[in-house]
Structure 1
Amino acid sequence: MRTPGARGLAALIGGVVIAAGLALTPSAAAAAEKVVLSKGHTDAVDIHYAEGQLSLKVHDDTVSPSVTRDPADVIFQVLPGAAMPVPDDSRFAFLGPAGSQVWLLPLTQNQNLLWPGWNTTSLGAGLFTGDRVRLSLVDVTGPGAVSVFTQDTFGSPLIKFRSDDGLPDAIDVPIRTHAHANWAFSAEGAYTLTFQADATRTDGSTVSTGPVPYSFVVGELDGSGPETTLSISGMADEYQPGDTVTLRAVQTPQTELDHYHWFSRCPGSDTFAVIPGEAGSTYTFTATRELNACEYQVRLYGDHHEVVATSEEVALWVAFPPADPGTSQTITASIDPNQGALVISVDPDDRAVVLPPAQLSGSGERWESAGSLRPVTVTDTRAATPGWSASGQLPKDFVSADGATFSAGYLGWTPEVVRQSGGQGVVAGPTVAPYTVGVGGGLGNSATLGSAPAGAGRGTATLSAGLRLHLPTETAPGTYTATLTLTAI
């Protein structure tokens, strides 16, 4: 390794409260007797000390509540979506030739990928010399090379571990550190990364975890992994005519695949027929007497349009109208095609983001925290389909209970489109970095969360964003709040 102990701009987790949201990550799934972690936050190398012994664990934050696991019980999956070309930049030549493919779990969180890091926050002060432990990558086996690196403020790589220039590689990690890095793999397949933690106790004796193997799979899991199954949730026992029916496709375990087709089979038909235009994870329609006893099925498709999983069918039951027509009334409702509205909303019971307590960055130059916006729904029912733009802004600074403040500009975001109706063309807004001196940025000014062009905005879309908070080191301790204002035009 070329830069042990080098300054690194690691993406660390920190803390603040804002009024607006948090996006849920898929839960982990069991592969044979192991748990597969493929999306969300995890402290992959979690260093513990108890009863005079050092040990390596996995802190799994992809489930709620989070759990601590034995590395032997976990497979870390680098999903196919992590593939990217090596930049045409000589600073990244250690990853391979420019343009060649590498699979990268990034330094900052991508909600569609795994976000692994290392952690010493459970270690107390005064246990070890220098209040630090040494973390080593002692061996790598697999089809390609592995590099773990952070980046400085200019984007230059700071290599922590690299398998193709000789191992072991080691870094000194201070206690109470929670750090993330870029994890790069040069080829698809199964890898074993063997880590070891060592420390010198204040009495001069040494302690070690010994070598601990970690299993990684880059790309699709082989036959030893979990088979994806599909089911339908949301079907009630009975509906009244005119009720709204919303069916949801549920993957077990959750994968990155999101291409579906919904099918129906009604009395008098022997086969399921595809429902045109329904290719998302949800299907919403109105219950009518004509649909009584119809059955519904959903299928999940892979990257090559092959069927990955098919659900069991569910039946729709619609209540009969009153038997005596002389005591009934007919009510007719209509929607004026010239009317409609554009509405942006959040769930009133799910509108608060609580970021984890801020941690000092790897370079020691600022406090950092990261989280996610709660879901934001934009519904456009306007027949003219003029398109729309949804934006957000923190019009006032963050304030603590003691009256301390810091600028709203220190919060930035990376928007994403969580889901949208068939036929919509919703795109996420650009990333807004937290404020930087001489550069600007931040959500103190209005920023686009998502937009839809004319002719492709009608329907309902759900938006979210990854949040990043960067604060000066002189910021006063405390819990701060601010309100994010959301608008759609």
Structure 2
Amino acid sequence: MHRYRTAAAVLAAALAVGVSPPGAWASPSDDPQLSQSLDPNQQIVHGERVLQIGHVDMGPRFDNGHWRFLIHDDARKADPGAASVWRYPDETVLQVADAARLPVPADPSYTFIGAEPATPVWVVPQTQNPGVVWVGWNTQDPQVMQRIDRGVTMSLTGVQGPGIVTVYLNSGDFGKPQILWDSRKTEPQPVWVDANTHTHANWVFTKPGVYLLQLQVKAQLRDGTTASDTQLIRFAVGTATPSADALTATWSGTVAGDTSAPPASSAGVARGPDPAGASPVSWPLVTIVLVAAAGLVVGSIVAIRARRARRRVLAARAGSGR
């Protein structure tokens, strides 16, 4: 009935975070937009792609038996005629348009962003702004849920870019923002994600330009083995930043706390068609005031929901005899 969400709807849509080793605990939410189940037959496709709007998740998937950290392009959510697919990070650019620009709040709780109050920064919000690509992560691939023990550890292990990157959740009790990742830290920053979780957060970039975020997803499998993959997630921040620059950017650093080689690309994997079709459709822009509210007003979802979600997954496994 209304074009934009009310404050009450924003409250119901926000996420919470608890504390759980080995790092922050990103818990699920009751936001209807986050309710999803993934088709195990969705294709993993090759082909360069720039994602400017719409719903995007990062997450693990088994690719011909190999554990991969991929990008889920949920194109069908915006266009019923399109196909939702999984994409390789080294062929995918997340373009954060100038519609994402917001002033830094004067609230001292947001000094961690690293920019002065009222300074414009680029924000991919926790609650969807239809004019901006909506970036999150999930552990909902059916085969992944069957094979992981309880969840996965997703770690930021390095950042390359012209400014500061922070990723945070707004807590459910109107408390301070819960910081998950900060590009100024030099050590790996792990986040625990339960099985069957779908989460979105606030991603803040202080300057326009190309950013490479080195992310690792690691899990203990039920057969006792460990699966791990590290990939570069490519952001082109600012409408004027060429997506081609992000696509061709190379990593010149090392994994935080490690001196190993840069992440492996998906080169050598058999190529398949891209059924996603044409470029993303245009959505109406949301007002700056509402987006700012979405970043500050949050729902009262507590960490117990993550434990309940985990128990449901484990109970389903027990009932199936796995």
TM-score range, shorter chain: 0.5 to 0.7
- 1:138 alignment partner, SS class: strand
Q: Is the 8 A contact 2:54 2:130 kept in 1?
A: yes
In the alignment, is residue 170 of structure 1 matched against residue 190 of structure 2?
Answer: yes
Q: Please state how far the C-alpha of 1:163 moved relative to its aligned partner.
A: 0.9
What is the one-letter code of the residue matched to 1:99? A
Tell me how far apart the structure 1 counterparts of residues 96 and 198 of structure 2 sit (CA, whole Å). Answer: 21
Q: Is the 8 A contact 2:209 2:241 kept in 1?
A: no
Tell me how far apart the structure 1 counterparts of residues 167 and 59 of structure 2 sit (CA, whole Å). Answer: 16
Give matches, 1:87-102, under 5 Å: 87-96=105-114, 97-102=116-121
Cα distance change on mapping 1:214 and 1:362 into 2, 3 Å: farther
Give matches, 1:432-443, under 5 Å: none
Residue-by-residue CA offset, 1:166-189 (whole Å, 9 max, x unaligned)? 332111111111111111111100
Q: Is the 8 A contact 1:119 1:179 kept in 2?
A: yes
Q: Please state how far the C-alpha of 1:253 moved relative to its aligned partner.
A: 7.1
Tell me how far apart the structure 2 counterparts of residues 201 and 91 of structure 1 sit (CA, whole Å). Answer: 38
In the alignment, is residue 77 of structure 1 matched against residue 95 of structure 2?
Answer: yes
Tell me how far apart the structure 2 counterparts of residues 7 and 257 of structure 1 sit (CA, whole Å). Answer: 30
Q: Please state how far the C-alpha of 1:205 moved relative to its aligned partner.
A: 2.5
Q: Is the 8 A contact 1:179 1:362 kept in 2?
A: no
Residue-by-residue CA offset, 1:349-399 (whole Å, 9 max, x unaligned)? xxxxxxxxxxxx673459xxxxxxxxxxxxxxxxxxxxxxxxxxxxxxxxx
TM-score of the two chains, using structure 1 as the length reference? 0.41
What is the one-letter code of the residue matched to 2:303? S
TM-score of the two chains, using structure 2 as the length reference? 0.60
Give matches, 1:12-161, under 5 Å: 13-14=34-35, 34-43=48-57, 45-49=58-62, 53-63=66-76, 64-96=82-114, 97-122=116-141, 123-125=143-145, 127-129=147-149, 131-155=150-174, 156-161=176-181
Tell me how far apart the structure 2 counterparts of residues 221 and 127 of structure 1 sit (CA, whole Å). Answer: 42
Tell me how far apart the structure 2 counterparts of residues 110 and 67 of structure 1 sit (CA, whole Å). Answer: 21
Tell me how far apart the structure 2 counterparts of residues 224 and 178 of structure 1 sit (CA, whole Å). Answer: 27
Q: Please state how far the C-alpha of 1:160 moved relative to its aligned partner.
A: 1.4
Q: Is the 8 A contact 2:26 2:191 kept in 1?
A: no
Q: Please state how far the C-alpha of 1:113 moved relative to its aligned partner.
A: 0.9
Residue-by-residue CA offset, 1:302-340 (whole Å, 9 max, x unaligned)? xxxxxxxxxxxxxxxxxxxxxxxxxxxxxxxxxxxxxxx
- 2:24 alignment partner, SS class: coil
**Larger helix percent:** 2
Tell me how far apart the structure 1 counterparts of residues 140 and 280 of structure 2 sit (CA, whole Å). Answer: 30
Give matches, 1:290-369, under 5 Å: 363-365=303-305
- 2:99 alignment partner, SS class: helix
Structure with more relative contact order (C-alpha pairs < 8 Å, separation 6 or more): 2
Tell me how far apart the structure 2 counterparts of residues 135 and 184 of structure 1 sit (CA, whole Å). Answer: 18
Cα distance change on mapping 1:362 and 1:54 into 2, 3 Å: farther
Tell me how far apart the structure 1 counterparts of residues 102 and 233 of structure 2 sit (CA, whole Å). Answer: 23
- 2:128 alignment partner, SS class: coil
- 1:220 alignment partner, SS class: coil
Tell me how far apart the structure 1 counterparts of residues 225 and 64 of structure 2 sit (CA, whole Å). Answer: 14
Cα distance change on mapping 1:113 and 1:69 into 2, 3 Å: same
Cα distance change on mapping 1:146 and 1:253 into 2, 3 Å: same
Q: Please state how far the C-alpha of 1:106 moved relative to its aligned partner.
A: 0.5
Tell me how far apart the structure 2 counterparts of residues 51 and 34 of structure 1 sit (CA, whole Å). Answer: 21
Q: Is the 8 A contact 2:131 2:284 kept in 1?
A: no
What is the one-letter code of the residue matched to 1:363? A
- 1:199 alignment partner, SS class: strand
Tell me how far apart the structure 1 counterparts of residues 163 and 281 of structure 2 sit (CA, whole Å). Answer: 27
In the alignment, is residue 220 of structure 1 matched against residue 239 of structure 2?
Answer: yes
What is the aligned-residue identity percentage? 31
The answer for unaligned runs of 5 or more in structure 1 is: 16-32, 227-250, 259-360, 367-489
**Larger strand percent:** 1
Cα distance change on mapping 1:184 and 1:362 into 2, 3 Å: farther
The answer for unaligned runs of 5 or more in structure 2 is: 1-17, 37-46, 77-81, 246-277, 286-300, 307-322
Cα distance change on mapping 1:74 and 1:362 into 2, 3 Å: farther
Q: Please state how far the C-alpha of 1:213 moved relative to its aligned partner.
A: 0.8
Residue-by-residue CA offset, 1:89-146 (whole Å, 9 max, x unaligned)? 12111012222222101001111111111011014556333x1111111111000111
- 2:147 alignment partner, SS class: coil
- 2:219 alignment partner, SS class: strand
Cα distance change on mapping 1:215 and 1:125 into 2, 3 Å: closer
Q: Is the 8 A contact 1:95 1:102 kept in 2?
A: no
| TM-align CA RMSD | 3.2
Give matches, 1:469-488, under 5 Å: none
Asked which structure has the greater CA Rg, the reply is 1
- 1:164 alignment partner, SS class: coil
Residue-by-residue CA offset, 1:21-62 (whole Å, 9 max, x unaligned)? xxxxxxxxxxxx62111111111x121135653211111113
Cα distance change on mapping 1:81 and 1:90 into 2, 3 Å: same
Q: Is the 8 A contact 2:135 2:200 kept in 1?
A: yes
Q: Please state how far the C-alpha of 1:85 moved relative to its aligned partner.
A: 1.2
Q: Is the 8 A contact 1:7 1:152 kept in 2?
A: no
What number of residue pairs does the alignment pair up? 220
